[in-house]
Amino acid sequence: MLMLNYLNYILIVFIGLAICVSTKPEEVAVDYLDCRENTCTKLDYPLPSEVAIFTEKVTKDLRDYESLILHSSNLANLPRKIFLNLPQLVELDVLECDLQRIERECFKGSKNLKRLNLGGNSLRVLDSNTFELVTQLEELNLSDNQLEDLASTIFLPLKKLQKINLSNNQIKAISPYTFSQLGSLKSINLDSNQLRELPVELFRDQQKHLTQFSARSNQLERIPSNIFSEVELLILSFNPELKRLHLTANIDELQATNCGLESVKLDGRVIGVQLEDNLKLKELKIAHPEDLEQLYVANTNLTRLDFLSKASKLVDLDLTGIENLSDLPKISSARGLERLSFTYDNMTADHMDMLPQLKDLNYLEITHDKVREIYIKDLDEDFFVEEAELNCGQLADLLEFVELPKDTTILEDRLVGDPRGPLRCGTA
């Protein structure tokens, strides 16, 4: 018994010692910095057991710059004393430096630091106290690293944080407390991680104004219906496991394309809704169609869109590739409709006669028997320079955010006898 305890004791000491070794890398003073203006390269400290120290001497020429860029270097540890010697720094970018570890004390003296960009390094683990001393930070970029999980209190000291980018990591789960007490946080990017769910409490301290939340390309299976109350741009596209989406929030723009969605219910005020390429989507309920300005539901399995008869502010509607839409919905109440795309077949023929009532329509795309026809109203007399041919680039400008469909021939409505042939844009 006594023997066993003794063994355990030895074991604990041994582990403790191992951690000590890894937390105390050996300091190596940097004796020369290869800088062009405020961009310094070729720092070579690749050993995790070594940490570079910036000295007063090497930082002398950097004191007038508000930003510092460390680039194309090999830094296993973030160098120490950067901010003790350069307290004026507002921005630090550490790019392509294979950075693996950041010690809390590296941020000593960082009283002006607002932007920290650590994107594109090799960070896998961050201690929960990493950002304790960098309390003025407003933007943090951790994208393109190998982060797997985040301590739930790691961002807690960043009370002024407005934007965080965690895209392209390997985050599997996120704690409900991750963004706690971050009352200024407005933009969160979690694209290309491995998240399966979002905790219902995640944004309880950002209820008032979230300008952007993006979790594209994850494995999200469900989103709690009341997780947001107000969000300007919400991006959930490319989550193949997401089958149902029910949100109560007011949303300016929702993008949830290319998911496995079968049913979508939006109870709040929504202005732009992009749901194309959800091949199984058969139910769409929008509680306030009177606010809707843009609706993209191409390539879905919807059969009815009755709410569109109340969508009086609609400007942009894409119904292409909805095979079983029982009727082209009555959209003649949408007097301001400017763009309309749909697939024409025998069943949708009934409402073609409403088209002339849509006085503002300037882009009409009709797909029929796999052929796409696009009609564009000449909006601006000055646009067509006399004798100059309309080219695809100009056309793309004219169509603003409409992406030119591939394999499309565009027939300009020209005077009889005009020898010019049809225009082919997009890559065939």
Q: Where on the chain is the footprint of ligand NAG (CB under 6 A)?
A: 117, 119-120, 141, 143-144, 165, 167-168, 187, 189, 279-280, 282, 301, 323-324, 346
Interior/surface letters 281-295, b for 16+ CB within 10 angstroms, e for the rest: bbebebebbebbbbb
Q: Which is nearer to ligand NAG, 180 or 189 (CB)?
A: 189
**SS3 assignment, position 410:** strand
By C-beta, is 247 or 302 nearer to ligand NAG? 302
Strands 371-376 and 363-368: antiparallel
C-beta of 93: minimal distance to ligand NAG in Å?
8
Distance in Å, CB of 216 to ligand NAG, minimum: 10
Return the structure tokens found at 153. 């209190």
Contacts of residue 170, defined as CB under 8 A and 6 or more positions apart, other chains included, come to: 146, 147, 148, 193, 194
> Which two structure tokens, joined as six digits, stand for 310?
């109340």
Residue whose C-beta lies closest to ligand NAG: 119
Give Cα separations from 210 to 5, 143, 241, 401 (angstroms): 54, 20, 25, 24
Report the first-to-last Cα separation within the chain, whole angstroms: 79
CB of 43 to ligand NAG, least distance (A): 17
CB-count exposure of residue 225 (10 Å: 0-12, 13-18, 19+): middle
CB of 262 to ligand NAG, least distance (A): 8
Of 220 and 235, nearer to ligand NAG (C-beta) is: 235
The HSE-up count of residue 3 (CA atoms within 13 Å, CB side) is: 0
Name the residue nearer to ligand NAG (CB basis): 236 or 334: 236
Nearest approach, Cβ of residue 193 and ligand NAG (Å): 12
Nearer to ligand NAG, 43 or 166 (CB): 166
- What is the closest distance, in whole angstroms, from the C-beta atom of residue 333 to ligand NAG in the complex? 27
Q: Are 61 and 37 contacting, i.e. CB atoms less than 8 angstroms apart?
A: no
Chain position carrying tokens 């304790």: 132
In contact, 141 and 165? CB cutoff 8 Å: yes
307 token code pair: 């709410």
Smallest separation, CB 1 to ligand NAG (Å):
56
What gap in Å lies between CA 232 and CA 406, rounded to an integer? 30
Nearer to ligand NAG, 112 or 263 (CB): 263
Distance between CA 26 and CA 42 in Å, rounded? 20
Instruction: Decide whether 85 or 192 has the Cβ nearer to ligand NAG.
Output: 192
For residue 424 the two structure tokens come to 């082919």
Angle at 425 between CA 422 and CA 427, to 5 degrees: 130
User: Whose Cβ is closer to ligand NAG: residue 7's or residue 349's?
Assistant: 349
Using the minimum distance from each CB to ligand NAG, give the nearer residue, 207 or 324. Answer: 324
Shortest approach of ligand NAG to residue 322 CB, angstroms? 8
Closest separation between CB of residue 94 and ligand NAG, Å? 10
Contacts of 423 (CB under 8 A, 6+ apart): 390, 391, 392, 395, 409, 410, 411, 412
